[in-house]
Chains A and B, each alone.
Chain A
Amino acid sequence: MSDRIRTQLLKGTTTLLVLTVLHDGELYGYEIAQRIRERSGGAFVPSEGSLYPALHALEADGALQASWRESNRGPRRRYYKITKTGLGMLEAHAQEWAAFSVGMARAVGGANQR
């Protein structure tokens, strides 16, 4: 898949991806990007330039809680934790995405069959 198409597909899914990886536990920014890449098997590499605005916007909305603390290796880092609001948001986004992807698969599948 070309980078341009991936970027287009990733637009609007950063929130869902971030909330999904943080559902497993607290992570800092760079780890979040790495975890998304790992979980998608390298299919999704979120733009680092859009990752931090997304993280900060989710924090402003109360979906994430951030705190500074020492990491296992290296200096103090800003860790993000999903909140109750964030869990609700994750559920809503996941349902929307499921409905969207099923519809998209049907539409694209139908086109391929013709």
Chain B
Amino acid sequence: MIDWPLAIVLFGGGPAFLIAAVALVRRSERRLGTGPDEFGPPVTPGQTGAVEISAYLHRMSTELRLPAADVAEVRAELADHLRDSIASLEAEGFELDRAIGEALGRLGPPAELGRQLRAAHQSTRRLLAGAGGGVFAAGGGFVLGYLGGSVLALLGFVAVAAVVALLGLVGVRLPDITSHDDGNTINSLLYVTAVAVAAATATRYAVRTSAGLSRRAPRTVAIFWAVGGALVFGWLAIFGMRGPQSWLSVAVELCVPVVAVASAFVRIERPMPHVGRWALIVGLSAVAVMVLALGLFAGVSTSGGAGTPQVAEFQMSDLHLDTVAPMAPTTWLPEGTITGGGWGSDPASGGTSVGDTIARPLSNWTDVRFEAWHALPMDAASPGGIDTRYSAPFEVQPGILNGNDLTAVFHFERLRDAGPWWVVLTAVGPDGHRYRLDNGGGGESYFSGSAWDWLTAPQ
């Protein structure tokens, strides 16, 4: 069944919005791109009264603070006027010098004329149009920038993966800059790069559009959009962008608002690069190369290690569970008391839920709790189990009995360095010593959250 409203929004509204945004930017930035060249210099050197007229126009222009095209038009129009006026005064019998002085005098003080012309151009209506148009263009710019940034990021990813794979072949291992999420190796930088390009495009589109529509100099308008960009993208970078994190990804995320602010100022008068046929061809080729490369490099992480199978058979002693506590004597914990156990994702909190099924009451046992220990990674060389470098669990949760289920929820995803873990159920026996009630189980979790979560996460 086709969801028509969604289909119309995605395939009709989306492209229409982008086309409208780009058209608005192109139309607005014509005011910025055309300088004096289109009209020629308003005063030709050697022309009658060139020095005086140039000085007058220069002084007037300093008060205009309009986009380049408007400044050029005003200067050309007033230069025309002065030429006519001087010619007319000469025809009336004025000496040339007096005619120039009289013509300039009739226009009044240049600074005052510049201020009046600026006020005439910068109406409230145009200011509102500039603000609204800027917001609209920023939205379109963000979407376009995100698409373009994604292609750039993927190209970069493919290039880095290829280099790292080649270095891995010759035995050079690079630091692991990847993060993990549910077993899939992903590069947080892909997302951040796309957002950074989107932020830059959005801010730039906003400044150029609002400057053109409001008839204000881009640098004047840029201040407001830079503040807006810093707030919006600052919030996004610190609180909004969630996912696997590392120091590198947090540092790059915090660059997003900096990129947005810089894009509002750096060469803002220069036109945006035109996305032509070749750019589209390169973009599509990049996607094709990426798909091919991902296929070729499947299973190769950017740290250079290849995916390996888990150990098929192992001894219980290989898990080093006695590091946690000795197993409870069967006299105190008859066989069949705990009939099963396991762990999974807790849908309510996003954490990791662990639990055991208790067939008989745990009489004479106190302080029943789940202990999370740092563990060895499960790979071809190790079945996992307790990492014996640690002598205490890194997190403890009391077991909550609900019917026959004894459960607890851990938030390994909020710990920076949880990595491989092993959770064991323990309790204090009748002799006052702590014992292990099961052999537990292990998994692997990596941090997931915002930059703020990362910065404030417990070590």
Contact = CB atoms under 8 A, between A and B. Distances in A.
Interface residues of A, number: 21
A26 B123 CA distance: 24
Given A30-B81, A52-B113, A61 B123 contact: yes
Interface residues of B, number: 26
Contacts of A77: 77, 80
Interface stretch (A16-24, A42-50, A88-96, A103-111): A42-50
Interface string B74-118: 101110110111000000000000000000001111001100110
B125 A60 contact: yes
B245 to A, nearest CB: 50
B116 A49 contact: yes
B119 A49 contact: no
Interface in A19-62: 28-30, 47-50, 52-57, 60-61
A66 B194 CA distance: 43
Nearest to B83: A74
B73 interface: yes
Nearest to B106: A48
Nearest to B115: A53
A78 interface: yes
A11 interface: no
A56 B120 contact: yes
A12 interface: no
A90 B126 CA distance: 22
Interface string B43-66: 000000000000000000000000
Contacts of A29: 77, 80-81
Majority secondary structure of chain B interface residues (helix, strand, loop or mixed): helix
B39 interface: yes
B81 A48 contact: yes
Given A50-B116, A60-B121, A74-B80, 16 more contacts: A29-B77, A47-B106, A48-B81, A48-B85, A48-B106, A49-B106, A49-B108, A49-B112, A52-B113, A52-B117, A53-B113, A56-B74, A56-B121, A68-B73, A76-B76, A77-B77
Interface of A: 28-30, 47-50, 52-57, 60-61, 68, 74-78
30 contacts: A29-B77, A29-B80, A29-B81, A30-B80, A30-B81, A30-B85, A47-B108, A48-B85, A48-B106, A48-B108, A49-B108, A49-B113, A49-B116, A50-B108, A50-B116, A52-B78, A52-B113, A52-B116, A52-B117, A53-B116, A53-B120, A56-B120, A60-B215, A61-B123, A68-B39, A68-B73, A74-B83, A75-B80, A77-B77, A78-B73
Interface of B: 39, 73-74, 76-78, 80-81, 83-85, 106-109, 112-113, 116-117, 119-121, 123, 125-126, 215
